[in-house]
Structure 1
């Protein structure tokens, strides 16, 4: 739980940490890195708020039930949330706040995220900027890189 909070604490509500969040006009955010390597935040603030709420209300229970950083905060290492098959429960923007939690499922109103055998897992979204496969290199990356160099925040 401490590692989740530390990793999540590196993120900014105002700056999308990876590509794929929809903009206000409904178009997907930068699918390829723009020249300045930044992303339109699009609907990232909604995902951020939902994840913060989940950590506050269900974080300790999720950890006790065996949920991992990748299952909760995972994104594809090069495509971000564009590859939803790699996404964790809390980085997607569908559904509202979490309403229940079990060892295999998180309910968001009428939608649910379920652990599935053989499901690909991504890297925690806060490590996207550090993974060399992402190509991400921005001021955000420069700010978090020294913190992340202490070791992965994946537990």
Structure 2
């Protein structure tokens, strides 16, 4: 008897890692002290949706993990200037381009040269658990 073949993951390895790492964060438990539960639940949903719908394209266009999911290494989302595009509001993306992610009438832009670069929010959460 032949077993059915498992479908391969449509996401490239980097986006599959985003899915795995982000999926380990609970939507009901904010990883950042000053990020409320309701706001975090919206961000979690928006990021999960982004990874599934635009993850492959984000990798192809050269978006990096910190540009998308970065937060300040010590202050998390409290320092918005360090946050990646997907960490700044919880709105679902409707498109992606080489320089920006589209959120309806608002666009999130890539980090520019010299801008601070954060760490992925899942690394921030892991550090907070150890502290």
Q: TM range, normalised to the smaller chain?
A: 0.7 to 0.9
Structural mapping, 1:65-144, within 5 Å: 65-93=61-89, 96-115=91-110, 116-131=112-127, 136-137=128-129
TM-aligned CA deviation for residue 10 of structure 1? 1.3
SS state of the match for residue 72, structure 1? Answer: helix
Distance of 2:31 and 2:62 partners within structure 1 = 25
Q: Give yes or no for contact 2:68–2:87 (8 Å, CA) kept in 1.
A: yes
The list of structure 1 runs, each at least 4 consecutive aligned residues, that deviate by more than 3 angstroms after superposition, is: none
Distance of 1:104 and 1:20 partners within structure 2 = 29
Structure 1 alignment gaps of length 5 or more: 23-40, 142-155
Distance of 1:46 and 1:75 partners within structure 2 = 16
Distance of 1:85 and 1:20 partners within structure 2 = 15
Distance of 1:63 and 1:5 partners within structure 2 = 13
1 or 2, which has the higher helix percentage?
A: 2
TM value normalised by structure 1: 0.69
Aligned residues: 116
CA RMSD of aligned residues (A): 1.7
Match of 1:11 in 2: 25
Give CA-to-partner distance per residue, 1:38-95, whole Å, 9 cap, x none: xxx241000011111111110100011111111111000110101000000111216x
Distance of 1:105 and 1:121 partners within structure 2 = 16
Structure 2 alignment gaps of length 5 or more: 1-14
Q: Which has the larger radius of gyration?
A: 2
